[in-house]
Amino acid sequence: MRRLLVTLIILAAIAAGVFFLVTQPRLLGAEALPNHTPNLENGARMFTAGGCASCHAAPASNKCGDLKYDKPKSLAGGRCLKTPFGTFNVPNISSDKTYGIGGWSDLDFVNAMVRGVSPGGEHYYPAFPYASYQRMRLEDLLDLKAFLDGLPGDTTPSRDHKLSFPFGIRRGLGLWKLLYLDGKPFTPDPTHSEQINRGAYLVQGAGHCGECHTPRNPIGGPDKARHLAGGPAPEGDGWIPNITPDETGLGDWSAADIVYALESGLTPEYDSFGGNMVAVQENMAKLAAEDREAIAAYLKSIPAVKHAKPKKQ
């Protein structure tokens, strides 16, 4: 029995060591940052394409029912996302150096965006869509950081998430990242046009469209076989539509229909967007027409995936 107990302790120690090794955060070093002069106009474009304010601007009230704000247009966070894993509280990303991200270095920001790691070395939860942001060019991220630094600060503290076991163990996210974070930036497809590649970059990167429009498995990983084919809403209420060119998605829509819908919020069926898509569309309407046209061209070029909304939804 004593020998068995010693063996079990040794095996447990080895397992803990392996777990610690494989789940450690993997960071970019300072040498990875390009020598770049920030372009604030492009930073504003990335801010809009990414819909940063849609999540991080403090709401007039919090649907969790425990907070109200007197500065609903600041980037103080406060929105809560109720999911099957628990409640995620969106943090303050204002320029305040204590409660926001104003004290972050460029490297801190880039590692948060493409590696999902905090300045303190902790894994971020993928409710923060770094699995998409990893596709962004570092120059675009540096432009975005400079733009955010120029916005007003806010002293509202961020709140901790409220997650069920075992999802509250941040270190375990290192295992999730091994499966779903490859660290590869966007690479243009030489077989496609410059316009389609531009749209692909916006959809896959800053726009992070797949975060909602791609269904997820029980551990929150994207179902790559059904990329952009729609599925249950991440917050567990409703159905996110298929946006591939299948008959169950955008098959009947022309590229011009998509462009007009992103600009106006009106569909070819004379309906209007609802839910969280309203804020997305409002941001898309602020982009240059060329960006909306590129997004439409890309969405019409991707493989059609059949995935209809269940009748019970």
| Distance between CA atoms of residues 110 and 142, nearest Å | 8
State the pTM of this model: 0.90
For the chain, which domains are there?
Answer: 33-180 (no CATH), 194-301 (1.10.760)
| Distance between CA atoms of residues 185 and 156, nearest Å | 33
pLDDT value for 290: 97
pLDDT value for 37: 96
Residue-wise pLDDT tens digits, 263-305: 999 999 888 988 888 989 999 999 999 999 999 999 999 999 9
What band does 81 get if pLDDT is binned at 50, 70 and 90?
A: confident
Joined tokens for residue 311: 């009748």
Measured at the alpha carbon of residue 52, what is the angle toward residues 48 and 53, in degrees to the nearest 5? 95
Average pLDDT over residues 171-185: 92
Among candidate residues 297, 307, 300, 287, the one with its CA nearest the CA of residue 49: 287
Average the pLDDT over each of 47-51, 58-62, 121-125, 185-189 and give the range with the smallest value.
58-62
What band does 68 get if pLDDT is binned at 50, 70 and 90?
A: low
What band does 128 get if pLDDT is binned at 50, 70 and 90?
A: very high
CA distances to 86, 140, 142, 302 from 206, in Å: 25, 9, 13, 18
Residue-wise pLDDT tens digits, 15-67: 667 766 777 888 999 999 999 999 999 999 999 999 999 889 877 666 665 56
